[in-house]
Amino acid sequence: MSAADLSYVQPTPNSPWGTYLSQVDRVVPYLGELSRWVETLKRPKRALIVDVPIEMDDGSIAHFEGYRVQHNMSRGPGKGGVRFHPDVTLEEVMALSAWMTVKTAAVNLPYGGAKGGIRVDPKKLTHKELERVTRRYTSEIGIIIGPQQDIPAPDVNTNAQIMAWMMDTYSMNVGGTATGVVTGKPLHLGGSLGRVKATGRGVFVTGREAARRLGLDLRGARIAVQGFGNVGSVAAELFAEAGAKIVAVQDHTGTIVNANGLDLKTLLPLARTEGVAGFEGGDVIANESFWDVACDILIPAALEGQVTAERAQKTRARLVLEGANGPTVPAADDILAERGVLVVPDVICNAGGVTVSYFEWVQDFSSFFWDEDEINQRLDRIMMNALNQIWDTADRHRITLRTATFAVACERILMARQERGLYP
């Protein structure tokens, strides 16, 4: 039986789960004897669907669908964010949880992979309704999460406040403060310095190394960023500090360009409150035109499936840094490789967030907190070590960085599976 036979999901070619399965198929030739365990990677260990009923402020009752998927826990507890979005599906959460398994193994953190989501548009909820949704969801998934079982974190449309509510709800239910149950918490509740910027910082660190290897000078390099939230905006800031020009930004409100570089100091506060479309320091262009803007580096940092075959054909970038999870469909991956465009894949490029989440979890357990310099230095070292090992693997087998990352990660995951053996 193959993963395509899972009764609860029929993967379609460019869907997130279909994309993930095809990425796994590509790594099989490099797994040697361990390939006998590969089916493990093609099915989630556990998937929980929960009903999240809440009372709305007007007295009516609303129901939302929530998920928590634990894809693989061979190397440690589940780890992965929670997404609040009206389009979230079980299939999407499965793919995101699987990419977490690969990502935590790629940077050699002692975790498996998990992910959660609620099918809700949080922008349509009041603050109180958002709190009720978060708390009820946490209570419902409380049977499978915990500091040693599965540790959620922020993702699209979730933040430190939501993590604080999750931590509090779980703690109330178990009868004691359990800070280690989620990461990405506010600083005074056991959060870590450097966590908010960690994912963007990882994109920058891996991107700077990729640019160096390509002989692309960051000073004056032109960068286009899709998604200007936690990941995209921080990465943009760090590249701008290194001398690059952010020439195009797209978010859910629209696309703006300025060939001389957008002024981030005025753009960032506007992006946080209203979105980028109303920005006066650039020209508004059609969303589809974002994909052939003249640029050297493209950073997709919004949602999955954005870099399609057609867009891969027209991009003018030499380097793609995947801030988002699953932004490139497999056909586009092939086109980029043929065109000589270097892709630093999500499973290493955006691993900075989970790495500092790991630091947060360790600090919570020891109740001893590190300063920001120490966190950033450790983050940079872990990211660079992982990237160099992946690059060596890519060079040795003459494969893309994505397949090399999967090769390094899947070897670790399947080795753990083999050594633990099957129970009973």
Position 73 contacts ligand NAD (CB under 6 A): no
Pairing status of strand 222-226 against strand 245-251: parallel
Please state, in angstroms and rounded to a whole number, the distance separating the CA atoms of residues 143 and 158.
21
Asked if 19 interacts with ligand NAD (CB under 6 A), we say no
C-alpha 120/C-alpha 284 separation (Å) is: 29
Q: Whose Cβ is closer to ligand NAD: residue 38's or residue 69's?
A: 69
Piece of 62-70, 72-80, 236-244, 296-304 that binds ligand NAD (CB under 6 A): 296-304
Contact pick of 302, 319, 386, 413 for ligand NAD (by CB under 6 A): 302
Let me know if 115 is a catalytic residue: yes
**Only segment of 16-24, 128-136, 299-307, 335-343 that touches ligand NAD (CB under 6 A):** 299-307
Which single residue is written with the structure tokens 């020891």? Answer: 366
Q: By C-alpha distance, which of 194, 196, 190 is closest to 361?
A: 190
130 is a contact residue toward ligand NAD (CB under 6 A): no
- Tell me how far apart the terminal alpha carbons of the chain are, to the nearest angstrom: 20
Residue with the two structure tokens 């905006």: 233
Name the minimum Å distance from CB 61 to ligand NAD.
27
Residue nearest to ligand NAD according to CB distances in the complex: 229
Q: Which tokens go with 230?
A: 């936690």
Q: State the alpha helices, DSSP H only, in 28-89.
A: none
Q: Mask of contacts with ligand NAD, 260-289, x by CB under 6 A? A: ------------------------------
Residues 6+ apart with CB under 8 A from 101: 41, 71, 72, 112, 113, 409, 413
Is 350 an interacting residue with respect to ligand NAD (CB under 6 A)? Answer: yes
Q: Omega into 16 within 30° of 0, i.e. cis? A: no
Query: Interacting stretch for ligand NAD, rule CB under 6 A, among 129-137, 204-212, 301-309, 400-408?
Result: 301-309
- Residue 303 binds ligand NAD (CB under 6 A): yes
Smallest distance from the beta carbon of 290 to ligand NAD, in angstroms? 8
- Residue 376 interacts with ligand NAD (CB under 6 A)? no
Distance CA 131, CA 171 (A): 15
203 close to 299: Cβ distance less than 8 angstroms: yes
Distance CA 53, CA 285 (A): 41
Binding to ligand NAD in span 318-347, by CB under 6 A: 323-325
Q: Which residue of 178, 225, 295, 301 would you call a contact of ligand NAD, by CB under 6 A?
A: 301
Provide the mask over 181-200, with x wherever binding to ligand NAD is found by CB under 6 A and - wherever it is not: ------------------x-
Of 79 and 222, which has the nearer Cβ to ligand NAD?
79
Choose, by CB under 6 A, the member of 91, 129, 251, 364 that binds ligand NAD: 251
Cα–Cα dist 141/269, whole Å = 35
Q: Cα–chain-centroid distance for residue 178?
A: 24
Distance CA 24, CA 35 (A): 11
Catalytic residue among 115, 185, 197, 245: 115
Distance (Å, whole) CA 158 – CA 184: 10
Out of 23, 40, 101, 157, name the contact with ligand NAD by CB under 6 A: 157
Element (H, E) at 402: helix 401-420
List the one residue from 23, 70, 101, 226 that touches ligand NAD (CB under 6 A).
226
What are the residues binding ligand NAD (CB under 6 A)? Answer: 154-157, 199, 226-232, 250-252, 301-303, 323-325, 350, 353
Residues involved in catalysis: 115
